């Protein structure tokens, strides 16, 4: 029997996804119920403990399947990329109308009504999904109206389905976003989170972690002598790290050296990373 990845398959000794019956052993199997992330960003922990590691994050509007829910914690799987983990129960709500728009700005605010001078009522990251019911213009600023009457800047959103042609351009809007282990948002992001979020803005679904991306994203390519065969959009993988080629010679990546999303010559990145983690292990073209 093939060993399943617990990051992508919901199973424990005591409970498992009904769809895994016959593939894993568990005390009981459940079908799960649908829910939606209602917080701006929901940390996804490895265990139901705030001190446990954050493996990834789910953004506002993402749909999940809930296999177990308690007063404080819920064990869920994302519909988008299949990632499994524990989120705070208060991050979950019922699934409502389908989202109409996705946030395209790196970060943006939610206002209690269409007036930018009012104190903000919340914030959202690139990739957050929202339902817009109307638009309103005031003093030359166009607002998108949410079902509860709150407002967002309309130019910070785009309709669902309008994929960007160049995913690297989306990644570049996150320049200077702080590095955050497990982060997937404009408030904080890690190397593979940057790849996944930027690809999502281009309408492409890729898996979450760098090892998953190194094994499945696009096609393996030969970089050529002195890496001359690389071009914008190619992915460079080290053990535990990934960078996006922003040009033929420069990468864009969320990295622990600058602790933010930044550009760096590929040659410099290779030289800096090699003493710690070795040279790149694979190159892929999405």
Q: How many CB atoms lie within 10 A of CB 79?
A: 15
pLDDT in tens, 66-110: 999 999 999 999 999 999 999 999 999 999 999 999 999 999 999
Number of structural domains, the chain?
A: 3
User: Which CATH number does the domain housing residue 233 bear?
Assistant: 3.90.1720.10
Kind of pairing, strands 41-45 and 33-37? unpaired
Q: Secondary structure of 232-247 in the HEC alphabet?
A: CCCEEEECCEEEEECC
Residue 1 lies in a domain: no
User: Which value, to the nearest 10 degrees, does the dihedral of the CA atoms of residues 62, 66, 71, 72 take?
Assistant: -50
Same domain, 119 and 218: no
Residue 7 lies in a domain: no
pLDDT in tens, 109-163: 999 999 999 999 999 999 999 999 999 999 999 999 999 999 999 999 999 999 9
- Supply the mean pLDDT for the chain: 97
Same domain, 112 and 133: yes
pLDDT in tens, 221-260: 999 999 999 999 999 999 999 999 999 999 999 999 999 9
Same domain, 176 and 265: yes
Same domain, 241 and 131: no
Same domain, 171 and 260: yes
Q: Enter the tokens of residue 213.
A: 């991306």
Percent of the chain predicted with pLDDT > 90:
99
Q: Are 146 and 100 in contact (CB under 8 A)?
A: no
Domain span at residue 271?
167-285
How many alpha carbons lie under 13 Å from residue 162 in its C-beta half-sphere?
9
Residue 228 lies in a domain: yes
Query: Which residue, 70, 93, 116, sits at the end of a domain?
Result: 93
Q: How many CB atoms lie within 10 A of CB 25?
A: 11
In angstroms, rounded to a whole number, what is the distance separating the alpha carbons of residues 246 and 253?
9
| CA distance readout (Å), 219 to 71, 196, 235 | 44, 16, 10
Query: Which residue, 44, 63, 93, sits at the end of a domain?
Result: 93
* CA nearest neighbour of 38 among 159, 170, 158, 128: 128
User: Which CATH number does the domain housing residue 124 bear?
Assistant: 2.30.30
**Under the phi-then-psi rule, with left for phi > 0, alpha for psi from -120 to 50, and beta for the rest, what region is 215?**
alpha
Same domain, 56 and 76: yes
């Amino acid at each position: 029997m093939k060993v399943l990845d617990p990051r992508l398959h919901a199973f424990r000794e005591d409970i498992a996804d009904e769809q895994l019956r016959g593939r894993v052993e568990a005390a009981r199997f459940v079908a799960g119920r649908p829910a939606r992330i209602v917080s701006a960003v929901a940390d996804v922990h490895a265990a139901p403990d705030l001190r446990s590691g954050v493996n990834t994050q789910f953004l506002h509007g993402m749909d999940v399947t809930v296999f177990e829910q308690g007063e404080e914690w819920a064990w869920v799987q994302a519909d988008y990329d299949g990632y499994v983990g524990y989120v705070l129960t208060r991050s979950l709500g019922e699934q409502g109308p389908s989202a109409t728009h996705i946030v395209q700005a790196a970060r943006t605010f939610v206002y209690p009504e269409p007036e930018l001078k009012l104190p903000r009522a919340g914030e959202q990251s690139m990739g957050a999904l929202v339902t817009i019911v109307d638009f309103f213009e005031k003093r030359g600023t166009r607002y998108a109206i949410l079902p509860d009457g709150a407002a967002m800047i309309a130019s910070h959103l785009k309709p669902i389905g309008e994929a960007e042609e160049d995913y690297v351009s989306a990644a570049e809007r996150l320049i200077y976003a702080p590095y955050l282990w497990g982060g997937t948002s404009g408030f904080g992001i890690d190397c593979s989170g940057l790849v996944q979020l930027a690809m999502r803005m281009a309408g492409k679904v890729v898996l979450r972690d760098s090892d998953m991306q190194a094994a499945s994203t696009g096609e393996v390519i030969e970089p050529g002598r002195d890496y001359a065969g690389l071009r914008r959009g190619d992915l460079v993988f080290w053990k535990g790290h990934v960078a996006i080629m922003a040009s033929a010679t420069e990468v864009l990546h969320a990295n622990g050296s600058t602790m933010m999303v930044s550009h760096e010559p590929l040659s410099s990145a290779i030289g800096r990373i090699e003493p710690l983690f070795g040279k790149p292990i694979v190159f892929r073209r999405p």
